Amino acid sequence: MASDNRLSRMLHVLIHMAERDTPMTSDDIARVLATNAVVVRRTMAGLRDKGYVTSEKGHGGGWRLVTALEHMTLYDVYAAIGSPAVFALGMADDHPRCLVEQAVNDRLEDALTEARALLFAKFSAVSLADIAADFQRRYAAVKPCN
């Protein structure tokens, strides 16, 4: 099963957008992400629908960040891109009347539910401003002195 990297990619794009004064076209974003502009538009639409970005057509148009990074969390972006599955594990359902299968599925479901809750709590505690600040620290460490 291929990993779903939409969250990582959209976080990347949003941090870049925050660093710019001009809009980014779908083609600009597609080049950054080495993907197709249609994929960018489809994914960015969820962020637009939640009010995090806006898009303008025509010359000088593109995608703009309209929500401050301080007001967006990892969980917000995760939800905006459609809440992709976070675990590849699933429950067997070949023999639903089998008591062993029922016991296994109950324990797995309990563990996965608890793990999701912990992950989403962490996602909710990290703002995009936190990530941007980490980027700034890293950039300052490698930026040549003038």
CATH classification for the domain delimited by 6-142, as one of 2.40.110.10, 1.10.10.10, 3.40.50.720, 1.10.486.10: 1.10.10.10
Annotated domain spans of the chain: 6-142
Q: Give the 3-state DSSP-derived string for 75-106, with helices as H, strands as E and coil as C.
A: HHHHHHCCCCCCCCCCCCCCCCCCHHHHHHHH
Query: What are the tens digits of pLDDT across the range 93-124?
Result: 898 899 999 999 999 999 999 999 999 999 99
Query: What are the tens digits of pLDDT across the range 57-99?
Result: 988 889 999 999 999 999 999 999 999 999 888 888 898 899 9
7 touches 81 (CB < 8 A): yes
- pLDDT exceeds cutoff 70 at 1: no
Q: Quote the pLDDT of residue 145.
A: 60
pTM for the model: 0.88
